[in-house]
Structure formats: C-alpha cells, structure tokens
Structure 1
Amino acid sequence: MSGTGTAMVGRRITGRWVTAFAAAWLGVWMAQLAPLQLLLPAQIDARLAPEHWVDSVVAFGLVAGAAGLCSIVVYPLTGALSDRTRSRYGRRRPWIAAGTLLFALGLVLLGLQTDVVGIGVCWCLAIVGFCVLGAALTATISDQVPVERRGFVSGWISAPQAVGVILGIALLLLLDTQPFVGYLALAAILVALVVPFLRLPDPIPAGERPAPLTPRTLVESLWVSPRRHPDFAWTMLSRVLVNLGNAFSTSLLFYFLLYGLGDADAETDLLLVTIVYTVFVVASSILLGRLSDRLGRRRAFVVAASVSQALAALLLAIWPSLPMGFVSSALIGLGYGCFMSVDQALATQVLPDPASHGKDLGIMNIAQAVPQAVAPLIGAGLVAWLGGFAGLYLVSAACAVAGAIAVTRVRGVR
C-alpha cells in the first residue's frame, strides 16, 4: 500500500514522542487559531470602525484569503525542501525550528500594526511560518509512525487544535489588554511548546534522496494526476469540501452570535460554545482515531464524521438560537475531531511517492489551510447575498455531504 514510507509496521512510537508531538501542535494551534477566532477580527474591526459589520468581515476575509494564497505555495515547497534535507540536525527539524521562529516573529510584528494593510502583511508572514512549521511537523507522521498507529497519533493533531482554541481565547480574554501583549504571549507559548519536540531524534531515511529541486520540477511535482492516483485526488477533494463546510460553520461564529442572534455577551458565549466544541473534539479524535486503527477502517469514519457536521449546520440553519448553538457545537466537535484524526491517517496511506511524503502531505495540507482562509470572505458574501446566516449554514451542510460522498470513491484504503 502506498504511503507507508519509512514507518514500517511494528515500529514503536514512544509516549515521550507522542507527548512532545501533541505539545508542539498545542502551541501551533493556540498561536494560529486564537488570533483567527478573536484577536485578528477584533483588531481589524477596531481599525476600520465600519458602519456595517459585513465590511469588517470582508476586510477580515481579504486578510485571511491573502494568507491562504501564501499557504498554497509554502506548504508543498517546504515539504519538497524538507524531503531533500540531509543535515546533522535531521530532515524535518531545521524546518520546524525555522517555521517556529518565523511564526513567532510574525505574531509579534502583528501586534505593532496600526492599519489594515500592515495587519495583512504581518498575518501573511505569520502564516508562512505556520505553514513551514506545520508541513514539516505533519511529515514526521509518515517518517516515524507505523501505519497501524497513525489514526491514534493523528488524533494528537486535532485534540490540541480544539484545546488550543479554547486556551488561546481564554488567555486573550484574561489578558484583556492591547493586541501586542496578546500576540507576544501567544508567540512565547508557541516557542516554549515546540522546543521539546526539537530535542527528539529526527532520523534520515536510507536510500537516495529525491531529485534536485528546481522551479520546473517543483511546479511539475505539484500536479498529482487524478488518473494515475485517484485515491489521492478523491481524498484531497473530500478534505477540501469537509474543511470548507467546517470553516463556514465556525469561522463566522463570533459574528453569528453578535449579529445573527443579537447576543450582547458574544465574547463570553463564544468561549462557552468553544468549550463544548473542545470536549467533543478531544474525545472523538482520540477514541475514534484509535478505534479506526483497531478496525483497520478509515472511510466509514470519515463519512460518519462528515454527516455529523452536516447535521450540526442544518440545525443552526433551521433553529438559530444560543441553546442550539451548544448542540450544534457538540455535533461539529464530534464530527470534526473524528475527521481530523482519521482523515489524516487516510491521507498518509494514499500518498503517491514514498520519497516525497513531505511534498505530498504539503499539498494535502493546502486542502485544510485554504478553506479556513477563504471561508470568512466567501461566508460574508453568502450572508449578504442570501440575507442571513441560514443560507450560510445550508451551504456548510452541503459541502460536508459532498465531502462524505467523495471519500467513498477511495478504493485503496478500507
């Protein structure tokens, strides 16, 4: 089966490795999602002081969209370069370290900005660092984790994601001060939590390294033929659709509470809703990821996870209220936690070339990063065009269902 790479069946992965891996992702998600959910839109809104909230969402969407364009280039480029790296510090570690420092620098500079253009430039810089770090860190799964453990280990990407959101938002609410202090705190936490993983071994695989990287070979390598590798293509399409549906449901949640429901205490309720989401993401990502490993099945779990998210979006579209927001958050968390862990394991098993795992996973990561980046802008347009949030959540449900259908077309993985 493709995608097994150097992580052969039977290889042990230690508790220390998993703990450091999970801690690193906790720092990554706190530094990326807490600004995206709260600090960045609030910063943009304060600078614009628009007459209508949609203008603020559009500006936020443009900033996030520009960062998404950066990720399209940086993810596969970092993966391809790290595939070819043979240093005394390992193959992935130099890129993890460089990405961490660049990400932290972008956050610190972001806190100093006083206009929307500066905010956009510095957020793009931070996201470039995030992509460099994330691409190299994700590739260590294919490098070091045996296939029969990848569902469980991948759960330690999604569980820290949920916890990172809530801890990051709670930290920002606790500080309740100027943006610079919040960004500085997130940057410091990022560095502190990634460093332990950098102290672990980073083995370099035996055999020949991939061909030298040139602009032409890079561009050519970004195209993975759907005809030759249909499982990769269907997994990629499914990931785009499900992540887009999830991003529609979550990225505008603050605006839904504040303007859709007229919630006067939207910031606090956002934290409470996120807590519910977190509990279900953590539980489902770890438990269902491990169950997927034991059963040796991936597709059925991805389908069920996608349907759970579609149901959550439909409930918000039909019965928009704060209590339904809590129910929907539980269903989204249940589905997305399962999806993140099992789909990541599935992705590592459909990679076309064992020598280019970093590059191919970088392409796969685009399917997660870009929907998150463009969803605020597209979502704001849908809210304006369809006359409210109900239409947005119906589109979210449709995307999740389409993603479930796409993954059923994968044939090489059960």
Structure 2
Amino acid sequence: MSQAVEPDLSPAVSSVPATPLPRLVTAMLSSNIGALIALLTPLSLLLTLHLTRIAGSEAAAAFGLVTGFGALFALFANPLGGRLSDRTVARFGRRRTWILTGGISGGLVVGTLGFTTEVWQVVVVWCVVQTLFNFQQAATSALLADQVPVHRRGTVSGLVGLAAAVGPLLGLTIVSMIPIPIVQWLVLSVIAIVLAVTAVLILRDPQHTRAGGQKGLGLVELLKSFWLNPVKHPAFGWAWLVRFLITCVYASGTYNAFLLLQRFGVSEAEVGGQVLLLSLISVGLLAVTSVVAGIVSDKVRRQKPFVIAAGVIGAGGLVIMAFAAEIGMIYLATVFIGIGMGLFFSIDSALCVRVLPSSENAGKDFAIINMANTIPQSFVPFIAPFLLAIGSFTALYLVLAVFGIIGALFVLRLPELGREGDPRWAVITRGETSTGI
C-alpha cells in the first residue's frame, strides 16, 4: 500500500561520503552550464543564422524541423539516460559515468554542426547532440535527489536553475566575439567538454550497489523508462503537467531571433547583439530572482505561490510580446519573462523531487519529469508554423500565455510542504518501486 508521505530519496550507495554541498552545487552547475551552452546557444542564435545561410527564406520552417526532431530524440534520451544511470554500477560512479560520457561525446559532435551544408545534415547532427547531452543532464538532475537534503533543495534548486540562463548567456557572449561561424561551433565544443570534465573531477559519486533481486535492463525495463502511471502516482502527474505547461511559456524564447528579423526588420548582422542584450536582461533578473526565491521558499516552507506567480508573470510577458509594436516593448516583456523564469526555476526542481515515487529509480523518475522540459522544445516548434500562419507572432505568444495560466492553476492540485497526505490534494505516493506502470 502506498503511503502519502514526503519521500526520503536517499539512494542505495556505499559508505563513501557524499559530496560536500558547496562542491556538489559547483559540480552540478558546471555540468549543467556546459550542456546548456551547447544546447541553448544554437537554439537562441546559431541555428537561426546557420539555417538562414543554408535555407534562405525557408529558414523558419527548417528551424522547426531541426528543433522538432532534435527534441523528439531528447524526449527519449533523457529518461533512458536516467534509467541507465540508476542501474550503472561502475566504480567511477553511476552519475559521473554518464556526465563524462555525455559531455565529451556531445561536445565532439556539436562541433561538427558548423561543417553541415544541408538541412538534413543539420537534423541528423542535432538529434545526436540532443541525445548525448540529455544523457548528461539526466545524470546531473538525479544528483538533487541523491545527495541534497530535503531542507536545502529549494536553495540548491534556485542556484542550479541559474544554469538554464547562464548557459546561453555565456554562450551568446562568447560567440558574439567570434566572427567565423565554424569557429563559433568549435568553441562550444571545447566549453562543453571542459565543463563536463570539471564536474566529474569535483563530484564524489559513491559506487552504486544493485539492490537484491533487482533485474538487469531488458527490453521491458527500458520501455518502462518512458512512462510512470499518473493515476497510480497522481502528484507526480500534476507536477509533470505544471512543468510542461510553464516550460512552453519559456520555449517561446527560441523565436526571439525570428521575431526581431521578421517583425522589426533587424538585420542579420545586428540580430546577434539584440538577442544577447535580451538575454542579459533576462539572466540578470533570473539570477537575482531564482536565488532569493529559493532561499525564501526554504525559509517560509512554501513552494506553490512561487510557481503560480511564475506562470502568471511569464504569461503577462508573452501578452506584451504578442502586441509589441516597437522593440522597446520586447525589452519590457523580457523583464516580465526573466522574473517569471527566476521564480519557476528556483522552486520547480525542489517541488518535483518531492513528488518522486522511488529512491532506487530517482534518475529514471526525474528524467520522466525532465521530459516536460524536453517536449516543449518539439511541441512549440510543431504548433508554431500553424499559429504563425493564422495570426503571426501574436497568435503564437497568446496561445503560449494561456498555457502559462493553466500551468499556474494546475499547481493548486499539489500539496504544499508539510501538508503531504491531506486528502484535499493529490497524493504523493511512496513505499513502492516506480515500475512505470
């Protein structure tokens, strides 16, 4: 029988001490920033410019094709990587093994994007890049459940959430100083590899010992990596929906370059600087908001108000973006979105860890939660051409704003900290292994 209690997600590890918290946070930041520099810098700018050179007027459609297929591969790679890291018994550590493997191989592959000359080539290489870095991110995310005490997860979640903004900001800053496109891609490659190696050197990752009676990874077990029954685990299901819907709000940022190029006539030579400035505004606000909100959340023992505010404020920014008639309004919208992102990233990971059903499968379960981050990368580009066709950028941003409001409402179904087990809210299941069915 499942019990509605706050889970203690202590993994089955050896007696080797876990990583001291400052070192753990540093390692998680290093790994996440490296992966996100390699993933989000192309999504924010480099893929747009590269595809414009390759496909010309068809660049927007090509961008949707590339990012859609890439996100589809990431969708499967993240939970698969999480399940594999859960079951890895290498002496090097179950998380370190995949952080290093994903970071080095992903870094090598992303560097080849600058040499592609056809859209189909970009699609293939980008799918491989997404797969490898999602293996790295799945292992990194699981560290929050593995080694961070419950009472510190809000703070750590806020700090690690900075990686989502610091990554593309650093990437954009660096590539904006490099005039040669191929060199831009190669620099991303080096950064991703160096930061992955740095993370594993800092991190302590005790060898995992397989639980008695635990079966090996057969085909059925691998298929279970992609599903966890939301009826059997209701709080997990609601948390997944909240993350998916609010992440759709922030996935709109991948269209900033196209908005500037097409609505405001910004030249290709100037668009990189404009995107970088928007990112600076967003990251500055995100940095302050996420750290402060994470600390405040741990102090007041509340999570839901921050997530609700994130959805509403982010949606407000998109409404401003939808009707912006001058670039100044885009900057105002970015202020709203940056604050909303900070609130969301400061709390969301800590909230999601709280609803994981199993400690033994924390990597796999958290990777399924991470699918709610990945699917919007495919879903938004999938619906964007239709919305752009019927109502231009106005329709696109308004629909995504509605998603943000719905996500803010759905978080009301989750119990607040300290109120787990109250029948008025969705049950946090615990006391059974999350088999995926």
TM range (shorter): over 0.9
| Partner residue, 1:317 | 322
Report the CA distance between 1:3 and its aligned residue. 4.2
- CA–CA distance in 1 between the matches of 2:378 and 2:325? 25
1:91 aligns with 2:91: no
User: What is the CA deviation profile of residues 73-119 of structure 1, one whole-angstrom value per residue up to 9, with x for unaligned ones?
Assistant: 11111111111111111111111111012211221222221111111
1:270 aligns with 2:272: no
Corresponding residue SS for 1:351? coil
Q: Which amino acid aligns with 1:152?
A: T
1:245 to 243, 249, 255: 249
Report the CA distance between 1:130 and its aligned residue. 0.9
Corresponding residue SS for 1:143? helix
Q: Which amino acid aligns with 1:289?
A: G
Q: Which amino acid aligns with 2:56?
A: A
Number of equivalent positions: 405
Report the CA distance between 1:24 and its aligned residue. 2.3
Q: Which amino acid aligns with 1:134?
A: Q
8 Å Cα contact 1:60-1:377 kept in structure 2: no
- CA–CA distance in 1 between the matches of 2:73 and 2:255? 22
Report the CA distance between 1:206 and its aligned residue. 6.4
1:119 aligns with 2:122: yes
Aligned 1:79-158 pairs, distance under 5 A: 79-158=82-161
2:63 to 57, 60, 64: 60
Instruction: Give ranges in structure 1 of 5+ residues lacking alignment.
Output: none
Assess, with a 3 A threshold, how the Cα gap between structure 1 residues 398 and 174 changes in structure 2: closer, same or farther.
same
8 Å Cα contact 1:242-1:403 kept in structure 2: yes
1:407 to 403, 408, 411: 411
Assess, with a 3 A threshold, how the Cα gap between structure 1 residues 306 and 7 changes in structure 2: closer, same or farther.
farther
| Partner residue, 2:284 | 279
| Partner residue, 1:159 | 162
Aligned 1:215-254 pairs, distance under 5 A: 215-248=219-252, 250-254=253-257
8 Å Cα contact 1:243-1:368 kept in structure 2: yes
Report the CA distance between 1:309 and its aligned residue. 0.1
- CA–CA distance in 2 between the matches of 1:299 and 1:221? 28
- Aligned CA RMSD, in angstroms, stands at 1.9
Corresponding residue SS for 1:175? coil
| Partner residue, 1:288 | 293
8 Å Cα contact 1:27-1:193 kept in structure 2: yes
Report the CA distance between 1:349 and its aligned residue. 0.6
Q: Which amino acid aligns with 2:287?
A: V
Report the CA distance between 1:158 and its aligned residue. 2.1
Q: Which amino acid aligns with 2:33?
A: L
8 Å Cα contact 2:303-2:416 kept in structure 1: no
Instruction: Give ranges in structure 2 of 5+ residues lacking alignment.
Output: 13-17, 420-437
Corresponding residue SS for 1:181? helix
Q: Which amino acid aligns with 2:262?
A: Y
TM-score, L = length of structure 1? 0.93
| Partner residue, 1:43 | 50
User: What is the CA deviation profile of residues 155-186 of structure 1, one whole-angstrom value per residue up to 9, with x for unaligned ones?
Assistant: 233212212212211211210113x2111101
| Partner residue, 1:348 | 353
TM-score, L = length of structure 2? 0.88
Report the CA distance between 1:42 and its aligned residue. 1.1
| Partner residue, 1:255 | 258
| Partner residue, 2:74 | 71
- CA–CA distance in 1 between the matches of 2:254 and 2:317? 15
